[in-house]
Amino acid sequence: MKNYLEKLLNKENLNLEEMKDATAYCFSNEVSESELASFLTALRAKGETPEEIAGLVEVVRSESNQTTNILPNVMDNCGTGGDRSYSFNISTTAAFVIAGAGVTIAKHGNRSITSKTGSADVLEHLGVSLSFSKQHVEEMLHDNNIAFLFAPHVHQGMKRFMKVRKDLRIPTIFNLIGPLTNPVDLDSQLLGVYRRDMLPMLAETLHKLGRKRALVINGAGHMDEASLAGENHITLLDQGKITSFTLHPSEVNLPVYDNQQILGGDAKDNAKILLQVLQGKEGPYYDTILLNAGLGIFANGAASSIQEGITKAKESIDSGAALEKLQRLVEYSNKVSSEAM
């Protein structure tokens, strides 16, 4: 570890194998908390590379008790958080719409960290279990096109890192990797990030992690979701090719809304918003989900254009398919809970 720290302090990048080795040390008892803090700080000061992020992610995933590759063409639509927009749970709501459109989605998420309500908070309020086993996740992905993976439950070896991160009180590489550490093997991904300068680098990281298709998005107002407030900056990864473009809601026949019109609240408030959207109540929340779910469907490759993705997202809601995905997940959660008693 000392050699890796010296390289980072000299502004030298670690290659993929070096980063995997360094991360493996961090999971062991051979590295003290002060060394771990120094490692994360040195990485931040130097600036992380796609190889370093990918190396860390590969080890984190390998340490999970739920790593699986049960189905082909599974995606996730988790964002990094950190935009402090205090919006409602956009990616969580969109996940059910994407699943209702026939795309298999392993929704990875956590409790609130920088927002009022995280995906786990709102789903728990709706009755979704946060402690699905690997078998439960596989059954739900196969039978329902959607499962929820609560990050602390599927990454129980990360507690040591979390304590150091909390003590450091500065952003580290872990503020970027949450959406990348999904233990389910993913072919495609919709990844939101609050830092616009990170789009190409995260697209390259997704390529190194084996994604066939992905969209990395920074929304208007620097949201880590697509926004109807104006121009969205997007980077597309498609079979190893990376391109960037912008998207205004008017280009896909959607209205413009200020980000203040999609504010959320506590878990109860956001659960109500989520249900209203899935029930087809039109307005800023509904249109925001059409955009984000449409982008997710396009990122997966289930639509040949963003406009087609939005059309499929609308059909998913209007047909009741999206709401049914949530209802079945809650029913399955109740079944699992009753069997455990």
The reply to whether 216 falls in a domain is yes
Annotated binding site: 79, 82-83, 87, 89-92, 107-115, 119, 165, 224-225
**What confidence tens digit (pLDDT) does each residue in 180-230 have?**
999 999 999 999 999 999 999 999 999 999 999 999 999 999 999 999 999
The reply to whether 139 falls in a domain is yes
pTM: predicted TM-score of the whole model, two decimal places? 0.95
Residues 38 and 101 in one domain: no
Residues 29 and 131 in one domain: no
**What confidence tens digit (pLDDT) does each residue in 35-61 have?**
999 999 999 999 999 999 999 999 999
Residues 27 and 135 in one domain: no
Q: Which two tokens stand for residue 294?
A: 């449409």
| Average model confidence (pLDDT) across the chain | 94
Residues 260 and 217 in one domain: yes
The reply to whether 53 falls in a domain is no
Residues 219 and 97 in one domain: yes
The reply to whether 206 falls in a domain is yes
Measured torsion, CA atoms of residues 87, 88, 89, 90, in degrees rounded to the nearest 10? -70
For residue 73, the model assigns a pLDDT of 93
The reply to whether 291 falls in a domain is yes
Domain boundary (12, 32, 47) is at 47
For residue 341, the model assigns a pLDDT of 65
The answer, yes or no, to whether residue 293 has pLDDT greater than 90, is yes
**What confidence tens digit (pLDDT) does each residue in 316-325 have?**
999 999 999 9
For residue 165, the model assigns a pLDDT of 83
The phi and psi torsions of 188 (rounded to 5 degrees) equal -140, 165
Residues 209 and 101 in one domain: yes
Q: Which two tokens stand for residue 306?
A: 């963003």
Annotated binding site for Mg(2+): 91, 224-225
* Domain containing residue 252: CATH number: 3.40.1030.10
Quick one: what percent of the chain has pLDDT higher than 90? 80
For residue 112, the model assigns a pLDDT of 75
Annotated binding site for 5-phospho-alpha-D-ribose 1-diphosphate: 79, 82-83, 87, 89-92, 107-115, 119
What is the arithmetic mean of pLDDT over 26-36? 89
**Do 226 and 256 contact (CB within 8 A), yes or no?**
no
Quick one: what percent of the chain has pLDDT higher than 70? 99
**Do 87 and 262 contact (CB within 8 A), yes or no?**
yes
Residues 148 and 38 in one domain: no
The reply to whether 67 falls in a domain is no
At residue 20, what is the residue type? K
**What confidence tens digit (pLDDT) does each residue in 72-127 have?**
999 999 888 877 888 999 999 999 999 999 999 999 999 876 567 889 999 999 99
For residue 337, the model assigns a pLDDT of 84
Residues 43 and 88 in one domain: no
**What confidence tens digit (pLDDT) does each residue in 234-267 have?**
999 999 999 999 999 999 999 999 999 999 999 9
Q: Which two tokens stand for residue 222?
A: 């620097």
What is the arithmetic mean of pLDDT over 296-309? 98
Residues 226 and 102 in one domain: yes
The 3-state secondary structure of the chain reads: CHHHHHHHHCCCCCCHHHHHHHHHHHHCCCCCHHHHHHHHHHHHHHCCCHHHHHHHHHHHHHCCCCCECCCCCCEECCCCCCCCCCECCHHHHHHHHHHHCCCCEEEEECCCCCCCCCHHHHHHHHCCCCCCCHHHHHHHHHHHCEEEEEHHHHCHHHHHHHHHHHHHCCCCCHHHHHHHCCCECCCEEEEECCCHHHHHHHHHHHHHCCCCEEEEEEECCCECCCCCCCCEEEEEEECCEEEEEEECHHHHCCCCCCHHHHECCCHHHHHHHHHHHHCCCCCHHHHHHHHHHHHHHHHHCCCCCHHHHHHHHHHHHHCCHHHHHHHHHHHHHHHHHHHHC
Annotated binding site for anthranilate: 79, 110, 165
Residues 4 and 104 in one domain: no
The reply to whether 340 falls in a domain is no
> What is the span of the domain harbouring residue 40?
1-47
The reply to whether 62 falls in a domain is no
Residues 118 and 214 in one domain: yes
The domain tally of the chain equals: 2
Residues 38 and 85 in one domain: no
